[in-house]
A and B are shown apart, each in its own frame.
Chain A
Amino acid sequence: MDAHHPTPKPRVHRRATALVLGEFDSAGHILHAAEKVRDAGYIHWDTHTPYPIHGMDRAMGLRESNLGWIVLVCALTGLGTAFLMMHWMNGVDYPLVVGDKPPGAPGTIPSMVPVMFELTILFSAFGAVLGMLGLNKLPRFNHPIFASARFHAASDDRYYISVEAGDPKFDVETVRALLEGAHATHVEVIEEDHT
């Protein structure tokens, strides 16, 4: 090593606890465990299941999804866009008289219905899918939970509860005890790098 190429300083990896992950083997166990975690007052926690479990929203104490309002706004935008587009194109910018009917609204509203309907649906569909991804903060390809060697079964036949370190009440041992007391078959602590 000469002066021009100094030895790189070893990067300091500080390992910090990211979350505690409990594994469950049945839908019934995780539902009851979720109720316990909810009642213990945790906020930053989640359940991970291969399919949506009936009653889990209530067991976690979640509010109803407000995706519908996003879709409603998109639907009305689509409806308005279609109407203004057709009125402006065929009625204002280049008045087009077909079948001796007056160009533009209100005279041609009946013939505008199909396109207004279709764009309402089209905008709603984008609102539903993009709104869902937005509310879920997806895509997110990197998450500490993927560091678990067992978590791949969450999309197969296992059920998980994760309690994140960011929770105000978080304490590794308390959470571990809580999950084990709720019939978790395996509990692990997941760490992430802090550089």
Chain B
Amino acid sequence: MAYWEPIAELDEAPLVLPGTTLHDVTNDISIVSEQPAPRGWWICFLLAATFAGIFVLCVSYLFWRGVGVWGNTSPVYWAWDITNFVWWVGIGHAGTLISAILFIFRQKWRTGINRFAEAMTIFAVICALIFPGIHVGRPWVVYWMFPLPNQMNLWPNFKSPLLWDLFAVGTYFTVSLLFWYTGLIPDLATLRDRSTNIWRQRVYGFFALGWRGSNRHWQHYERAYLILAAISTPLVLSVHSVVSMDFATSVIPGWHTTIFPPYFVAGAVFSGFAMVETVLLIARTVFKLHRVVLMRHLELMNKFLLLTSLLVGYAYGMEFFIAWYSGNQYEMAHFLVNRPTGPFWWAWVWMVSCNCLVPQIYWFRSMRTNIPVMFIASILINIGMWFERFVIIVLSLNRDFLPSAWGYYRPTIIDVGVFSGTIGVFFTFFLLFMRWLPMVAMAEVKGTMAAADPHYGHKKHAEHDEHEHAHALAPAAEGAE
């Protein structure tokens, strides 16, 4: 049994449609950047660029006037800014999960979607990093966050989770970018080799670093890829854990919870998978990638959504249970009264219905394979996950210990503009990526195809596996796997 053969007993289907040749894969993916963009791309791009423009205007106004243009005020000093930060970082996590964790588990189906997911990670983390940068009030001294010498002779406080967060998200962005670029090198070489005009050849050639598919290179390359996957796996788990510690190390009811690190990681993967699906469905339709992105990929992603939804639902339930079980009146007031029946009850209802109820449809195969249903569900899940962060942040601050300090929170139009603007920034980057870079990891997809197997076509390979391969002399013995 070769690795590319679907296991009939498990009801598996081939990873790439039968009859697709290696050249078909190259052609289907590369041609996107070689032909004029389809009309659908232009419509999406103009829409995204409009919102990116709104973002620039809103942030310019914010820098001009100060953070007072947002709705943040006593007692809610962290509101949409940090909600958006956590939401965007979380979305990035599914990209790393697909590219790193599924790689280590040898889930070959990931090859159809990993490039998308990695690109999504990078752009989502860029959007995330914007928020801590612009919420500091005086962005021109934002370098005070970094351990750099300054005129006050002060260093940052390394006992602060906010500083851990800077290191965690900064590392996450850098490592994701390196991982993504490493994966792109062979595919950039493909685009270089197909180029018919000098500028494409030069630009793709420059970034392909002179890659020539050498097996002596592939050997180190594959090892580097494995190491990057292996270090990204604990990294992705650490990043949202550290993000959650921004809250969990405080004493505010609703934040002071030990379940936060795993709960945040599960939520991150959940929202990230939903976002991958949204973007993937758009790209698959606009660029007609039906031969590479199969229904099977989408169905597996829906199963992941169901699983992570259950994990998130468990965490919600456990927060309630522990609030009651602790006997702490502030915890009980927060979880049992303020969240479901307080002034923001509607946010809580959005969170529970989108995150816990909507994904239940995926128990049914007819729903898991229905494209309009999954498109709507993936958007609802992302709305729900945004509300989860809103509930955690704003609902914990608006009513804390003393009723005399309670208050309400209202966003301003600038809040809305900045947030919807980052969505525009995200899709602007993403559409440019889809247009100019190989959207699917061609080299990896080829490696999972039947034609890639050296034994493909040997009718009786089952009988004489490892047959006529005369083993090499000395070095080969240790070189073998």
Contact residues of A with B, CB < 8 Å? 26-28, 30-32, 34-35, 38-39, 46-65, 67-68, 71, 85-86, 89-90, 93-94, 96, 98-99, 101, 108, 111-112, 114-115, 117-119, 121-122, 124-126, 128-129, 131-133, 135-136, 138-143, 145-146, 151-157, 160
Contacts and interface: CB of A to CB of B under 8 A. Distances in A.
A85 to B, nearest CB: 6
B158 interface: yes
Given A128-B228, A156-B26, A90 B159 contact: yes
Given A54-B454, A155-B193, A132 B182 contact: yes
A62 B228 contact: no
A48 B193 CA distance: 14
B227 interface: yes
A129 B21 CA distance: 31
B476 A58 contact: yes
Contacts of A125: 174-175, 178-179, 228, 231
Which of A53, A129, A139, A145 has the most chain B CB within a 10 Å cutoff?
A: A129
Given A101-B159, A119-B171, A57 B219 contact: yes
A127 to B, nearest CB: 8
B327 interface: no
Contact of A85 (B147, B160, B468): B147
Contacts, number: 247
Interface of B: 3, 21-23, 26, 147, 153-161, 163-164, 167-168, 170-171, 174-175, 178-179, 181-182, 186, 189-190, 192-194, 205-206, 209-224, 227-228, 231-232, 234-235, 238, 242, 245, 442-444, 446-447, 451-458, 468-473, 475-476, 478-480
Given A141-B205, A155-B193, A48 B457 contact: no
Contact of A118 (B159, B167, B206): B167
Contact of A157 (B22, B161, B178): B22
A136 B220 contact: yes
B242 A114 contact: yes
Contacts of B455: 28
Main secondary structure of the interface of B (DSSP, over half): helix
Contacts of A115: 158, 163-164, 167
B215 A90 contact: no
A53 B454 contact: yes
B262 to A, nearest CB: 16
Given A28-B454, A68-B227, A157-B23, A47 B210 contact: no
Nearest to B182: A129
Contacts of A89: 147, 155-156, 158
Nearest to B21: A157
Contact of B479 (A61, A129, A136): A61
A160 B209 CA distance: 19
B219 A65 contact: yes
Nearest to A126: B178
B458 A28 contact: yes
B171 A96 contact: no
B446 A132 contact: no
